[in-house]
Amino acid sequence: MAKIVFITGANTGIGFEIVKALAASDQSYIVLVGGRSLEKARNAAATVQQDLPESSSDFVPIQVDIEHDDSIKQAFHEVQSKFGRIDVLINNAGAQFDRQIDQIGEREMWNRTWNVNVTGTQILTSTFAPLLLKSADPRLLFITSGTSTLDGTENQMVPVNRVPAKGWPKTGLNLPAYRSAKTGLNMLMREWHRWLKEDGAKVWAISPGFLATGLGGDTEVLRKMGALDPSMAGPFIRGVVEGQRDADVGKVINRDGVQPW
């Protein structure tokens, strides 16, 4: 029986790389391609089917916007009626608004950052938990960030950690809202690990590395800063889905091991 994998934010960036990696697997999946726009989700599903016609997996577009409870509920009822369960939930949808502070204001920027990356993720997970627990092998993944590690904030080799010059206003790379939200997401993962432990659910936060995605801004600038191709995330996360990191449940993991807290 094919496992059912629901991925939010699956029509672009890391989410789409996960879809492609699952399509290339020798295992069969029913991949629920979640996207804020149904049209974009459909296009992503069609693209994978066209590019990998030999795949034994099926790709089903699902409209879901984690900023809106009604959208989450609608997606839940659709998945429940069509499939009755999910085996893997990958909370990939996220956003970075720090650079929009001048356009939307500081409070709105912080509120939207938390709403998308933590609150919306929590509400979607809570809504879909009953379907996840119908699986014989429930897996719950949260996509976090390498910038969320408290232990790593002293590393001056990382651009976002560099200390700016004395004076005000400050200049340089600064993502306090995004970093804080992803650190909060790590604790959310720990809470779900605790909450579902007796149900046999395996829970992780996934730190995919410094990747040149649209989330981080201009991809060419990011590449010059050392960002890697987003395609590296797909096989890594597929490996978690397929059991390669079962020894690390309840942890924030990256390709090299466990990310320091």
Looking up tokens 């976090």 gives 144
Q: Among candidates 37, 137, 207, 68, which has minimal Cα distance to 10?
A: 37
Task: Give the helix, strand, coil percentages of the chain, each rounded to 5.
Answer: 50, 15, 35
CB 200 within 8 A of CB 138: yes
What beta strand segments (E) does the chain contain?
Answer: 3-7, 29-35, 58-63, 88-91, 139-143, 202-206, 252-254, 257-258
Residue type, 246: D
**Which active-site residues does the annotation give?**
145, 178, 182
